[in-house]
């Protein structure tokens, strides 16, 4: 799994079967103090994330959609909205 920050959304009216009920978000890899979106990627939102939030993203085969849409083509899925990121005795991110 990877940490990322939601930097935008992707609107698509035509989607593969199984994706219609889900929103697509633009996610940038998490870097302390950075809002850069140069290496952003699209992830399906399974956790109800919003723009600016730090999220946990499952990739590859771990990005499956539950509930009968397992065959939908997904490569990245937001599986959690993060409250705090700590490394040793430092807080790298804290949701306000």
> Which residue ranges make up each domain of the chain?
2-94
- Bridge partners (DSSP) listed for residue 76: 59
Query: What is the model's pLDDT at position 70?
Result: 61
pLDDT tens track for 54-88: 999 999 877 777 665 566 788 899 999 999 999 99
pLDDT tens track for 4-54: 999 999 999 898 887 888 899 999 998 765 555 568 999 999 999 999 999
Rounded Cα distance, 3 and 27, in Å: 9
Asked if 36 and 5 touch (Cβ cutoff 8 Å), the reply is no
Query: What is the model's pLDDT at position 18?
Result: 78
Query: What is the model's pLDDT at position 76?
Result: 93
Question: What kind of fold does domain 2-94 have according to CATH?
Answer: OB fold (Dihydrolipoamide Acetyltransferase, E2P) (2.40.50)
């Amino acid at each position: 799994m990877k940490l990322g920050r939601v930097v935008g959304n992707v609107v698509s009216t035509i989607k593969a079967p199984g994706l219609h009920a889900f929103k697509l978000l633009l996610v940038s890899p998490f870097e302390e103090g950075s809002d850069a979106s140069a290496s952003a990627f699209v992830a399906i939102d399974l956790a109800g994330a919003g723009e600016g939030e730090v999220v946990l993203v499952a990739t590859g085969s771990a990005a499956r959609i539950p509930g009968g849409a397992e065959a939908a083509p997904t490569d990245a899925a937001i599986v959690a909205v993060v409250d705090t990121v700590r490394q040793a005795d430092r807080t790298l991110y804290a949701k306000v």
